[in-house]
């Protein structure tokens, strides 16, 4: 049913779709097709279970596929787009791939091969490198068994994601039934992983799912708004505006949200939401709180009316500097300093809170001179910290 000539096109359509949805697609991976006889000897040599129709090796970045399978296209989506993307671009996948390549390097050195191996090798256990090799291998095997559900769950999820887009969902469920019959208990873990991913996607959306796995975050404003909708759920409607600030490649997504809901902030390792209730926002901007004026003046509107945001900025620029504002920034500096003391020296928290305290203090100094710097970077540049 599959003619080999159509595969490159199937790959490029799927790549284009992933690029469109997530801004990424496999770039280092390739795939290799094997006819029945060669496939059998490959899985025998690799000690893979009978009935296996595809596998992916992080060390070679190759998806190995049985060309005669009726599920070839799905296997391609699973191995090449699922595992390929995971091992190339996700945080955990990259870590696992790096360890696997290290193993391959050591195997090469122990055996004296000059190319990377993709089968199971007989290694000389008296070789001086062997203990180190075993250590890395056990470590990787530990991660493998620990992460099996995530790694397989993601690949099946991706297989389903692409099969849905390219009208192969029926075939996908047919394959699931077949795999359950073929691999019984072992396939249950993949299936459970897949269900978890489906539930997660349903609750939090596909972008949240990808970012949670540590994939590069290539977002648009629409995606940021979707993240906010997923996070705030029925409280989303209370948001007055949301700004994206502190934009750096490969860093957290920093959002500043002003809402009618009470102030509370959120951080999950990649999404940092600084959330203020509108009255508190107005009070703190009136006092030239540098922690609030900074996102206001450096951020970009991703949700809400820009005219409203501009109005708030103008208010700050027009407002008079009062003794209250100076005292307030000094008080904030002292508070931060006390908090910094609670953290151990040289910790990230200590460093951050100390810098924050200093920023408030320098801000107070400028306000005293009648100057509004409003932006942290400007203060830091002026005072060299």
Residue with smaller CB distance to Zn ion, 178 or 335: 178
Residue with smaller CB distance to Zn ion, 39 or 303: 39
Q: Nearest approach, Cβ of 116 to Zn ion (angstroms)?
A: 20
Residue with smaller CB distance to Zn ion, 108 or 149: 149
Q: Nearest approach, Cβ of 56 to Zn ion (angstroms)?
A: 7
| Distance, CA of 58 to CA of 98 (rounded, Å) | 8
Residue with smaller CB distance to Zn ion, 74 or 257: 74
Site size toward Zn ion, by CB under 5 A: 2
Q: Nearest approach, Cβ of 220 to Zn ion (angstroms)?
A: 30
Which residues is 62 bridged to in the sheet? 30, 57
Per-residue x/- marks for Zn ion, 95-134, CB under 5 A?
----------------------------------------
Residue with smaller CB distance to Zn ion, 118 or 226: 118
Residue with smaller CB distance to Zn ion, 77 or 232: 77
Contacts of 286 (CB under 8 A, 6+ apart): 315, 316, 319, 325
| Distance, CA of 49 to CA of 251 (rounded, Å) | 41
Q: Nearest approach, Cβ of 152 to Zn ion (angstroms)?
A: 5
Q: Nearest approach, Cβ of 83 to Zn ion (angstroms)?
A: 6
| Distance, CA of 33 to CA of 11 (rounded, Å) | 13
Q: How far is CA 296 from CA 204, 256, 314, 319, in A?
A: 27, 8, 11, 15
What residue is closest to Zn ion based on CB?
155
| Distance, CA of 354 to CA of 251 (rounded, Å) | 21
Give yes or no for residue 85 binding Zn ion (CB under 5 A).
Answer: no
Per-residue x/- marks for Zn ion, 134-173, CB under 5 A?
------------------x--x------------------
Compute and round to an integer the Cα radius of gyration of the chain: 27
| Distance, CA of 128 to CA of 280 (rounded, Å) | 65
Residues 284-343 contacting Zn ion, CB under 5 A: none
Contacts of 19 (CB under 8 A, 6+ apart): 25
Question: Which residue, among 169, 196, 194, has the nearest Cα to 73 in the 3D structure?
Answer: 169
> Which residue stretches of 278-347 are H helix?
278-286, 290-298, 306-318, 323-342
Contacts of 292 (CB under 8 A, 6+ apart): 276, 281, 284, 285
Q: Nearest approach, Cβ of 72 to Zn ion (angstroms)?
A: 15
Please tell me what DSSP assigns to residue 49: P
Q: Nearest approach, Cβ of 42 to Zn ion (angstroms)?
A: 16
Question: Residue for token digits 């992933």?
Answer: 18
Residue with smaller CB distance to Zn ion, 163 or 298: 163
Do 243 and 302 form a contact (C-beta atoms < 8 A)? yes
- Residue 103: CB atoms within 10 Å: 18
- Residue 144: CB atoms within 10 Å: 13
Between the CA atoms of 253, 258, 262 and 267, what dihedral angle is there, to the nearest 10 degrees?
Answer: 10
Q: Nearest approach, Cβ of 177 to Zn ion (angstroms)?
A: 17
Q: Nearest approach, Cβ of 78 to Zn ion (angstroms)?
A: 6
Return residues touching Zn ion (CB under 5 A).
152, 155
């Amino acid at each position: 049913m599959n003619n080999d000539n159509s595969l490159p096109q199937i790959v490029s359509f799927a790549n284009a779709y992933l690029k469109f949805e997530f801004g990424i697609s496999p770039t280092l991976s390739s795939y290799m097709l094997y006819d029945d006889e060669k496939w059998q000897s490959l899985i025998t040599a690799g000690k893979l279970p009978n009935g296996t129709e595809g596998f992916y090796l992080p060390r070679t970045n190759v998806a190995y596929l049985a060309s005669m399978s009726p599920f070839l296209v799905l296997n391609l989506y699973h191995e090449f787009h699922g595992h390929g993307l995971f091992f190339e671009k996700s945080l955990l996948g990259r870590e696992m791939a790096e360890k696997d390549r290290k193993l391959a390097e050591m195997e090469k050195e122990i055996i004296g091969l000059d190319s990377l191996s993709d089968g199971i090798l007989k290694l000389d256990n008296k070789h001086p490198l062997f203990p180190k090799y075993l250590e890395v291998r056990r470590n990787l095997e530990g991660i493998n068994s620990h992460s099996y559900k995530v790694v397989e769950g993601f690949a099946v999820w991706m297989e389903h994601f692409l099969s849905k887009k390219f009208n192969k969902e029926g075939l996908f469920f047919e394959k699931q039934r077949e795999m359950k019959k073929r691999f019984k208990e072992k396939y249950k873990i993949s299936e459970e992983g897949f269900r978890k991913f489906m539930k997660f996607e349903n609750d939090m959306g596909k972008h949240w799912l990808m970012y949670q796995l540590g994939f590069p975050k290539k977002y648009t404003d629409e995606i940021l708004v979707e993240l906010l909708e997923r996070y705030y759920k029925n409280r989303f409607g209370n948001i007055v505006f949301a700004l994206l600030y502190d934009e750096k490649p490969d860093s957290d997504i920093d959002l500043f949200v002003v809402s009618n809901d009470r102030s509370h902030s959120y951080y999950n390792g990649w999404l940092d939401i600084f959330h203020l209730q509108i009255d508190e926002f107005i009070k703190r901007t009136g006092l030239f709180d540098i922690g609030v004026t900074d996102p206001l003046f450096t951020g970009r509107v991703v949700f809400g009316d820009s005219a409203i945001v501009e109005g708030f900025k103008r208010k700050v620029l027009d407002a008079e500097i009062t003794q209250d504002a100076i005292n307030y920034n000094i008080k904030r500096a002292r508070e931060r300093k006390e908090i910094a003391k609670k953290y151990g020296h040289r910790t990230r928290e200590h460093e951050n809170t100390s810098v924050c305290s200093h920023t408030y203090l320098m801000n107070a100094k400028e306000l005293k001179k009648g100057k509004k710097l409003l932006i942290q970077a400007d203060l830091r540049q002026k005072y060299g910290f």
